[in-house]
Structures are given as C-alpha cells and as structure tokens.
Amino acid sequence: MAIAKSAVLILLFALVCNANGAPKLPRIAGPDMFKNKNVAKDVLLPGEQIINVMDFGAKPDGRFDCTQAFMDAWQKLCHQTTGPARLLIPEGRFLVSSMYFSGPCTCQTPVTIQVKGYVMATTDISEYENGDWLMFEKHNGLKIIGGGTFDGQGKKSWEYSENCESGADSVCARNPSSLFFSDSSNVVVQGIRTANPKGFHIFVTKCTNVRLRKLKLVAPETSPNTDGIHVSHSDTVIMSRNTIATGDDCISMIQGVKNVFINRLKCGPGHGISIGSLGKYQNEEEVRGIRIQNCSLINTTNGLRVKAWPDRFAGAASDISFSNINMQNVRNPIIIDQEYECYPDCKKKPSLVRIQNVHFQNVKGTTTSPLAVDLRCSKLFGCQGVTVRDIDLKFGDAPTTSRCVNTQPLFAGLLMPPACA
C-alpha cells in the first residue's frame, strides 16, 4: 500500500510542475465564468455523471487510507470523462494523505467536487514533502461544495511549527495548508468547513476570479500559523460570509494581491485581518484595491492591520478601505505597523514599503488596550492619503488614544479616540 501510494504520488507529481523549482507559469486569466450567475445554487446538470469515491475502494471508517481511491476517482473525473461530472465524497469519515488535483481536466467545467463527508489528513508529516495537503492546480473552473469538512489533524505538527514571520531571513518550512489553490481561475469554494489545519486553512496563490463563500474555518486560538485564508499573487478574490476562528490571521494578504472584496466576515479568536507582512521578499509585487466591509472581529489580537518590515525590501500597498466594522475585545483595532517585529525602539533603517490611500471608516466597538488607532509609517515615505472617519472604540471607562508617526491622516466625523495631536 505504501509503495502503491508513493508511486501514485510520484506519478502525479511528475504530471504537474514542481511548486518550488519550475519556471513560473503565465497566469491563467480570461473572463469570469461565474459573473452574474447564482453560484450558491447547485443543481445536477442533465447527464451529469457522479463519480463516487466509494466506487473506487474508499472506506468511510476514518482509518483506512483512501488516498489511492480518491486519486483513482479523480483520474476518472479529470482525465477520462467528457461532459458534466462531479466527484462525490459521501457521508462518512475518509482518511487521506497529500494529493494533487491537477488540471486542466477533460470533463466539462467547472470541475465539481461535492464533499458531504468528513475528510481527515494523515498525521505523518513526512508524507507532506510536496508542500500542502490537498493541492488544486491549473484549473479554469473549479467548484468545491457540499457542506462537508476537511480536518487537517494538525495538532501533532503544531509542535514543530516554525514561525516563518519572525525568522524573515531564514528558509522557513511552512506547515502544509489544508486546501491549496494555485495557477487557477474561476474557483468557487462554498459552504464547507475546515478544522485544525497543519498550516493555513486555505492558501490561494497565482489565481484569478476566486470566490470563497460561507466557509467555516476553525482551529484553537493557540494553534501556531494557522491563518484562515492566505492570499498572494492573485487578482479578483471575493470572500463573503465566512466565519473564521483560528490561531493566526483570519485573513492575510501579501504581495501581488489585487482587487479583493471581503464582506460579512466573522473573525475571532485570531489575529484579525492583515495586509502583509510586506517588504519581506526582493522584487515584491504591489498590493492594490482591497475593500473590506461589514465585518466583525471578536476577541482578536489585531483588528485591521497593515504590516511591513523595516530595513528590508521595497513594496507598495494602496487603495485599501475598511468600512462598517464591529469590534469586541480587540487589542489593536486599527494599526499600520511599518516597524514589524522591531517595535518598540526600532533602530533599523526605515521600511521601503510605500503605503497610500488607506481608509478606515465606521469602526465601532471595544478594545482591550487604550491605544486604539496606531499608525506608524516609514520615515522614508510616510503613509499618504490616510483617512480615519467615524471611529468609536471604547476601552471600558478609560479614554482611548491615537498615535500617528510619519503620517498626517485626514480625521473626520465622530472620533473616539480623538484625532492625533
């Protein structure tokens, strides 16, 4: 079994390009196939084939290794089927190892995976040397739906988690993400849960037109580096009505992310919504056009955060707006931090990241520290075009304060804390 499995993995690995070494692929762009369609609706198309993992030897007992069965079912769906078809993971508990679900497929798009059951990751971390747990690559049209759960069974690997943020210089071994999407366009992930990932719950990179809706992502507050949704190098990502309770950022967006809309997120516990860290890598692509609306953050360490490394590489983040945000018990509700991991008393050279046009509007609720608005920008560029409007953040009966370093925001409307002096 072990040999058969590694043979399958090697074969699949050979079919796709190495996530690290291979030359960069051109981005798959093109029109948004879900535009103006009701993506919430799932109907079987006329003649749609249902490819059930049970018919390929999967056993729903949570102990039998179903990797081969899943791969055989996927092979049939993706490479031996034309016309509409879906992969069905029915109710039951299915144990599976690291797998590639690589496109393009021969079946009609969107390629659909319907998960009703509870899919569990194997716990031997040495099986994950290709990077992540379930890897979806090179699709144009992919739908993951069905109300089921992906459980990364991460507890054992959390003990070995390296903090890739603090060790900015070192080559850091990231723990496997549960769902990894790369080089794909027109992706919908909807109405599923992920629990206890080894690393991130969901990682999106080099993708366009992605919708992540009605997801429930859960891990203990103490689990290390378990970001909810981590996005890099992607254009047009819409995340709506998600609930995220995890040990790191609920949503983090780093270099090359453009045109993101986050709506009705419930975040907490966790580290809030982060843009950055930026300026970490050489030749970073800019971050532009991030709109975050109607979200609530409860018991999080940070709320709305832009973070950049001092004394490192150039980068840029612009056209970012946060509006209609409710906070409860948030330690740093509004924060721009260009002295990331260097504060206080940072003696390093200033950050080379340009931050422009960042808007905080209608942010209300409670904090667990008096410094509710903390904007610390680079001495070199400052932060241009920052606005802070209608803020009402309370710290019990004590007053809240704001601080502005190397930035002169436009303050307007009702302000609690008051504007920077």
Ligand X SMILES: *[C@@H]1O[C@H](CO)[C@@H](O)[C@H](O)[C@H]1NC(C)=O
Residue 50 or 298: which CB sits closer to ligand X? 298
Q: How near is the Cβ of 72 to ligand X at its closest, in Å?
A: 42
Of 259 and 294, CB closest to ligand X: 294
Would you count residue 321 as binding ligand X (CB under 6 A)? Answer: no
Q: How far is the CB of 36 from ligand X (least distance, A)?
A: 16
Angstrom CA distances, 332 to 47, 91, 168, 253, 293, stand at 53, 42, 23, 18, 18
Angle at 353 between CA 284 and CA 327, to 5 degrees: 105
Burial of 268 (0-12, 13-18, 19+ CB in 10 A): buried
- For residue 263, state whether it binds ligand X (rule: CB under 6 A): yes
Q: What angle separates helix 67-79 from helix 2-15, to the nearest 10 degrees?
A: 30
Residue 396, sorted as left (phi over 0), alpha (psi -120 to 50) or beta, turns out to be left
Q: Identify which of 378, 251, 259 has the alpha carbon closest to the alpha carbon of residue 314.
A: 378
Catalytic site residue 359?
no
Shorter beta-carbon distance to ligand X: residue 76 or 291 = 291
One residue of 299, 326, 357, 369 binding ligand X per CB under 6 A: 299
State the binding string over 119-158 for ligand X (x if CB under 6 A, else -): ----------------------------------------
In the list 108, 259, 324, 387, the residue contacting ligand X (rule: CB under 6 A) is: 324
Q: Cα(80)–Cα(316) distance, rounded to whole angstroms?
A: 45
The region of 19-27, 54-62, 290-298, 412-420 touching ligand X under the rule CB under 6 A is 290-298
CB under 6 A: which stretch of 181-189, 211-219, 262-270, 409-417 binds ligand X?
A: 262-270
Kindly tell me the burial class for residue 79, based on how many C-beta atoms sit within 10 Å of its own C-beta (0-12, 13-18, 19 or more).
Answer: middle
> What b/e sequence results for 194-211 when a residue is b if at least 16 CB atoms lie within 10 Å of its CB, and e otherwise?
bbbbbbbbbbbbbbbbbb
Say whether residue 326 binds ligand X (CB under 6 A): no
Stretch that binds ligand X, among 42-50, 293-301, 371-379, 395-403 (CB under 6 A): 293-301
Identity of the residue, 221 or 286, whose beta carbon is nearer to ligand X in the bound complex: 221
Mask: binding to ligand X, 172-211, rule CB under 6 A, as x and -? ----------------------------------------
Q: In the chain, what's the furthest Cα-to-Cα distance?
A: 69
Element (H, E) at 82: none
Q: Is 46 exposed, middle or buried (0-12, 13-18, 19+ CB in 10 A)?
A: exposed
* 361 touching ligand X, by CB under 6 A: no
User: What is the C-alpha to C-alpha distance for residues 18 and 25, in angstroms, rounded to an integer?
Assistant: 11
Q: How far is the CB of 268 from ligand X (least distance, A)?
A: 6
Task: Tell me how far, at minimum, the Cβ of 200 lies from ligand X, in Å.
Answer: 21
**Closer CB to ligand X, residue 262 or residue 308?**
262
DSSP 8-state code for residue 112: E
Please measure the distance between the N-terminal and C-terminal CA atoms of the chain and give it in whole angstroms: 68
Of these, 293, 321, 361, 387, which contacts ligand X (CB under 6 A)? 293
Tell me the DSSP string of 218-246: E--TT-TT--SEEEESEEEEEEES-EEE-
Q: Select the span of 111-119, 292-300, 311-319, 364-372 touching ligand X (CB under 6 A).
A: 292-300
CB of 202 to ligand X, least distance (A): 21
Does 298 engage in binding with ligand X (CB under 6 A)?
A: yes
Does position 294 interact with ligand X (CB under 6 A)? The reply is yes
Q: Could you tell me which stretch among 4-12, 122-130, 196-204, 263-271 binds ligand X (CB under 6 A)? A: 263-271
For residue 264, give both structure tokens.
């009705």
Neighbouring CB atoms inside 10 A of 343's CB total: 12
Among 329, 356, 368, 369, which residue sits at the site for ligand X (rule: CB under 6 A)?
Answer: 329
Question: Does 369 interact with ligand X (rule: CB under 6 A)?
Answer: no
Binding site for ligand X (CB under 6 A): 263, 268-269, 293-294, 298-299, 324, 329
Query: Which residues are catalytically annotated?
Result: 271
